[in-house]
Amino acid sequence: MGNYEAISVFDMFKIGVGPSSSHTLGPWRAAQRFIKALEDKQLLQSVISIEVLLYGSLAKTGIGHGTDVAVILGLCGEDPVTFDVNAIGEKISSITQSRKLILNGKHEIDFSPAEDIEFLYTESLPYHPNALSFLAKFSNADSWAETYYSVGGGFVQKEGEESTLADQAELPFPIDTAEELLHWCRKTGMSVAEVVMENENSWRSEAKTREGLLKIWQVMKESIYRGCHAEGYLPGGLQVKRRSADLNKKLIQGKSYSGYESWVQAIKDGGSNFNYILDWVSCFALAVNEVNASFGRVVTAPTNGAAGVIPAVLQYYVCFAGGDTDEKVINFLLTASEVGSIFKKGATISAAMGGCQAEIGVSSAMAAAALTECMGGTQRQALMAAEIAMEHHLGLTCDPIKGLVQIPCIERNTMGAIKAITASQLALQSTPDFAKVSLDGVIKTMWQTALDMNHKYKETADGGLAVNIPISLSEC
């Protein structure tokens, strides 16, 4: 089993800024890496100009996804985990007006976003549709360029680099496939979450992993709560009205609360009627993706476009299915991350490579497996739930209207969450012995489907709903 890819739970779940992990978070990280490389070579102070080239899918839907904004913030040395999302507009307009940019907060250069960021709509690089190049020119007339690929879920790979992960760890339980995961569960008698925690211990202490996962959950909770209390319209010109705040108000029925904890109690007090629970799951998912669509802070799970599925299912588990302890939340996230990493290794989590099956489909499979194990299902039932969830997302296209992560993306998160819960219920009532399709089989099928899918349906806004809905932008 020597040659495996070691992916941590914190690679699958990253704290970042919306609206897209591959088109916002990835390019932001790439810009940070380029600046760091300049600093490491002690070249930063002699830079006189930087040009950024965006290729393929990054060019075609880059404006809607804020790719240019993300690159600028990365060049400035800002970090997506800590940068105040409310200050983005002000920072960008200041750079645009002054035509100056301070690289890594240290060295000022002339920079005009309109002239120095080029959208190459008709050019694509062979390795991956999400490519961007940085070209720095120096005072001694030399220049230096690097190309990066944003390969989905905020993962970034530099051209010529073998692995996306700098610190390959020796894991006690190397896993590339669902069958290998099952092998370790059988051999040790451990749950999926326990196997994953043992692997995480190769990177850091268990206490640190637990602390990090609770921080991930904290950001998820904040994005749900913030979305459920934010009214108005989403940016980008489609004039999409936020829905989660109105739905929250309707469902909460005038109960008073002050903050997340008492809000959750008010939700629980509302009962367990099927329609009531269904509406809340939709509300949670809508909330996260409305925050994501407005350059808010969310957790890439495993991507930003699909950031609402796992929080919505986890919030459902907390509110309606007894998942209200730290231990249960941690186990949920551990199991979900492992399923996501198996999809990343065997197929893709990038819509530009595989359409929306790679984003909503994968997040739904992750949530289904996690919920199943947390609800007392066996390891095989958990993987069966993941298989069921993905099987019914196969072939799902990515066709965002005007290249924005809004229509159909926001509603799709509600569907992914509901499908995850249904898949979990089905698996819990089933015997895996009689299942005809394995998780590895469905992952292989998903990848073949991705390869066969027309490029129009891979986050280019060149096909599907993106070309059939006559909407005029009131602003850009």
DSSP string for residues in 274-303 = HHHHHHHHHHHHHHHHHHHHTT-EEEESS-
DSSP helix, strand, coil percent of the chain (3-state; round to 5): 55, 10, 35
Q: Are strands 155-158 and 143-152 parallel, antiparallel or unpaired?
A: antiparallel
Report how far residue 235's alpha carbon sits from residue 231's, in angstroms, rounded to the nearest whole number: 12
Mean pLDDT for all residues in the chain: 94
**Amino acid at residue number 226:** R
Of all helices (H) and strands (E), which one includes residue 310?
helix 309-320
Q: Which of 57-66, 72-81, 200-209, 395-404 has the lowest mean pLDDT?
A: 57-66
Band (84; pLDDT cuts 50, 70, 90): very high
For 317-333, write each residue's pLDDT tens digit: 999 999 999 999 999 99
Q: Is the per-residue pLDDT at 10 higher than 80? A: yes
pTM, 2 dp = 0.93
Mean pLDDT across the stretch 202-216? Answer: 97
Q: Which of 3-12, 39-48, 369-378 has the lowest mean pLDDT?
A: 3-12
Tell me the backbone φ, ψ of residue 274, rounded to 5 degrees: -55, -50
Dihedral (C-alpha) 56, 58, 61, 64: value to the nearest 10 degrees? -160
Both tokens assigned to 424:
């979990």
Report how far residue 91's alpha carbon sits from residue 364's, in angstroms, rounded to the nearest whole number: 36
Which residue ranges form the domains of the chain, and what is each CATH number? 16-158 (3.30.1330.90), 178-468 (no CATH)
For 130-172, write each residue's pLDDT tens digit: 999 999 999 999 999 999 999 988 999 999 886 544 456 789 9
Q: Is the per-residue pLDDT at 471 higher than 90? A: no
Look at phi and psi of residue 217 and say left if phi exceeds 0, alpha if psi is from -120 to 50, else beta: alpha
Mean pLDDT across the stretch 422-440? Answer: 96
pLDDT value of residue 163: 55
Q: Which of 190-199, 369-378, 401-410 has the lowest mean pLDDT?
A: 401-410
Q: Is the per-residue pLDDT at 476 higher than 50? A: no
Question: Percent of the chain having pLDDT more than 70?
Answer: 97
Of all helices (H) and strands (E), which one includes residue 217?
helix 206-227
DSSP 198-214: HHHTTTS-HHHHHHHHH
pLDDT value of residue 161: 80
Among 187, 150, 159, 180, residue whose Cα is nearest residue 3: 180
Residues 6+ positions from 187 with CB-CB distance below 8 Å: none
> In angstroms, how far is the first alpha carbon of the chain from the final one?
50
Q: Is the per-residue pLDDT at 472 higher than 80? A: no
- Does residue 229 contact residue 245 with C-beta atoms inside 8 Å? yes
Report how far residue 115's alpha carbon sits from residue 113's, in angstroms, rounded to the nearest whole number: 6
For residue 242, give the DSSP letter: P
Q: Is the per-residue pLDDT at 475 higher than 60? A: no
Q: Helix, strand, or coil here: 131?
A: strand
Cis check: omega of the bond before 172, within 30 degrees of 0? no
Cα 175–Cα 176–Cα 180 angle in degrees, nearest 5:
55
